[in-house]
Amino acid sequence: MPPSIEQPGGDRQVTIVEVGPRDGLQNEKRLVSTGEKLRLIGMLADCGFARIEATAFVSPKWVPQMADHEAVMRGAARRAGLVLSALVPNEQGARAAIAAGAQELAVFTSASETFSKRNTNCTIEEGLARFVPVMALAAEHALPVRGYVSCAVDCPYEGPIEPGAVAKVVARLRDLGCAEIAVADTIGRATPERVHAMVLATLEEAEAARLAGHFHDTSGLALANVDAAWDLGLRVFDSAAGGLGGCPYAPGAAGNLRSGALVEHFASRGIATGVNRELLAEIENMLAEGAFFSEL
């Protein structure tokens, strides 16, 4: 089994996984240059993020923005205490990511059969089967693997998703050996009450220390949803600088939860994030003013 992902300790510390360079940029219509992506990753590393999702080793045919994945992973800033991860869909992607220097792999499935077929052109069961060689490769190279469960609350095609369906997929990812499993409100329709019910169901299959929350802010409830998951013991949450992002296969999915908002939210509660709030604010101001990416 791959090594575990280090978790924050106690109720006064949280880990924020910065997903802007991958999940944030993947849906941008104009291509962002490799140099600009590397600049963003470098500045986010300087902020003190301990984990950054740098890129995705997926087919450029389906996600053109990630076509430079190898150059990004090879050129990304390396820091002591920083883990750079890459999203991979299958064994081929995993091999390429490992060769390029990925320090963590991420695989993705869904709690919705329809979304799985639209997003990966396969059923949930077929997708999980693709992860078996990925897990073997990760173990061989002593790399942890994160598993994403998309549509953990709502699906753009099927509507509300039953918490039990999410728990079932979490159990499968647990059995495959994922060190961490991120439950994702992919289209941002969740409410705190429904997040509570979903997380409570997943806790029947995986301990809180193995779970993470990934919330989009489409309805303006992302921070309230974070709190609902926090209250049940989750201590790892995803966000994207400037609220970049959305899913190209999820109609209606707005940006990810903004990193600055999440950091400030935890700071107001006296919970340490390890992130330089001033530098992060500078990055987000540049993004808001259109001064960061010359091509956007």
Residue of 282, 275, 232, 281 whose CA lies nearest to 260 = 281
What does pTM read for this prediction?
A: 0.93
How far, in Å, CA of 35 to CA of 92, rounded?
A: 25
Determine, yes or no, domain membership for 218.
yes
Residue of 136, 203, 215 whose CA lies nearest to 170 = 203
For the domain that residue 29 is a member of, what is the CATH number? Answer: 3.20.20.70
Query: pLDDT of 142-163, one tens digit each?
Result: 999 999 999 999 999 999 999 9
Beta carbons of 197 and 154 less than 8 angstroms apart: no
Q: What residue has token string 């996600």?
A: 63
How far, in Å, CA of 22 to CA of 66, rounded?
A: 8
Determine, yes or no, domain membership for 208.
yes
- What range defines the domain where residue 118 resides? 15-288
DSSP letters along the chain, please?
-PPPPP---SSSB-EEEE-IIIIITTT-SSPPPHHHHHHHHHHHHHHT-SEEEEEE---TTT-GGGTTHHHHHHHS---TT-EEEEE-SSHHHHHHHHHTT-SEEEEEEES-HHHHHHHHSS-HHHHHHHHHHHHHHHHHTT--EEEEEESSSEETTTEE--HHHHHHHHHHHHHHT-SEEEEEETTS---HHHHHHHHHHHTTTS-GGGEEEEEB-TTS-HHHHHHHHHHTT--EEEEBGGG----TTSTT--PBPBHHHHHHHHHHTT-B----HHHHHHHHHHHHTT-S-TT-
User: Domain tally for the chain?
Assistant: 1
Question: Given this model, what pLDDT does residue 162 score?
Answer: 98
- Which residues are identified as catalytic? 247
DSSP-derived 3-state class of residue 205:
coil
Beta carbons of 44 and 287 less than 8 angstroms apart: no
Beta carbons of 264 and 230 less than 8 angstroms apart: no
Determine, yes or no, domain membership for 4.
no
- Give just the sign of the alpha carbon dihedral 237, 243, 244, 250: positive
Residue of 160, 181, 161, 162 whose CA lies nearest to 171 = 181
Q: Which residues in 221-292 belong to E strands, given as ranges?
A: 236-239
Amino acid letter, 97: A
- Residues of the chain where predicted confidence (pLDDT) is lower than 50: 1, 248-252, 295-296
Determine, yes or no, domain membership for 64.
yes
Question: Given this model, what pLDDT does residue 1 score?
Answer: 46
Determine, yes or no, domain membership for 2.
no
Question: Given this model, what pLDDT does residue 29 score?
Answer: 81
Determine, yes or no, domain membership for 42.
yes
Question: Given this model, what pLDDT does residue 224 score?
Answer: 98
Query: What is the share, in percent, of the chain residues with pLDDT greater than 70?
Result: 93
* Backbone phi and psi for residue 145, each to the nearest 5 degrees, phi listed first: -125, 130
Determine, yes or no, domain membership for 293.
no
Determine, yes or no, domain membership for 128.
yes
